[in-house]
Amino acid sequence: MIKKRICFKKDIKVRHSNNAHSIQFKIKSAKTNKTGKPEIVEVFATNTLLCPVKAILKLSALTSHLPLDSPAFCDSKGKALTLNRLNRCLNMFLNSHFKHGKISGHSFRAGLVSMFAKLGYDSFQLKQIGRWSSRAYKCYIKLGQTKRFQMATVISKVK
């Protein structure tokens, strides 16, 4: 049985414009959505080695023979990329690069919001990045050792 939250090939739209290319995902039942209505999530091209738009276009080409009601994220045989399978792949590919524990799909949630927090994005923007409606995003922000040291130094000078 296919879970309710799965995204199908037919739920992905590639958008091209003069200055920005993007992918829109129609999420039928996002866990962050309280209305129960489908939610559109848009991801923009970065034009880098890790560009999400290029990756989706490549995946679409590899799975073009599959019907539109196939999982959006699947192998060439139509087998869905589950969270468990994604986590195994991440660890297999990244193990030689990261020696400090396991990397999972959920690691990106904390990593992205932490990166933008360090870049100075405000609370409203951080909430939008992760599609949070509460202060829960604050639990995901991880500050680096240098930043924590700087904060401790400032705090130690408070009289």
Q: What pLDDT shows up at residue 54?
A: 92
Q: What predicted TM-score, i.e. pTM, was given to this entire model?
A: 0.67
Contact 129, 121 (CB under 8 A): yes
At 60 the pLDDT is 92
Which pair of structure tokens corresponds to residue 118? 């360090």
pLDDT of residue 2: 45
Q: For 114, phi and psi rounded to 5 degrees?
A: -65, -45
Report how far residue 141's alpha carbon sits from residue 152's, in angstroms, rounded to the nearest whole number.
17
Q: What's the pLDDT score for residue 69? A: 92
30 CB neighbour count, 10 Å cutoff: 19
Angle, helices 107-118 vs 123-130, to 10°: value is: 160
- So what's the pLDDT on residue 79? 92
For residue 1, the model assigns a pLDDT of 40
- 71: β partners: 8
Digits of tens for pLDDT over the chain (159 positions)? 445 567 899 999 988 877 788 999 888 876 666 777 888 888 889 888 888 899 999 999 999 999 999 999 999 999 998 888 888 888 887 777 766 567 777 777 777 888 888 888 888 888 888 778 788 778 877 766 566 566 666 666 765
Q: Which residues pair with 44 in a beta bridge?
A: 22
Q: Give residues with Cβ within 8 angstroms of 130, minimum separation 6.
A: 109, 112, 113, 137, 140
Q: Which residues in the chain belong to E strands, given as ranges?
A: 12-16, 21-27, 39-44
Which neighbouring-strand residues pair with 26?
Answer: 40
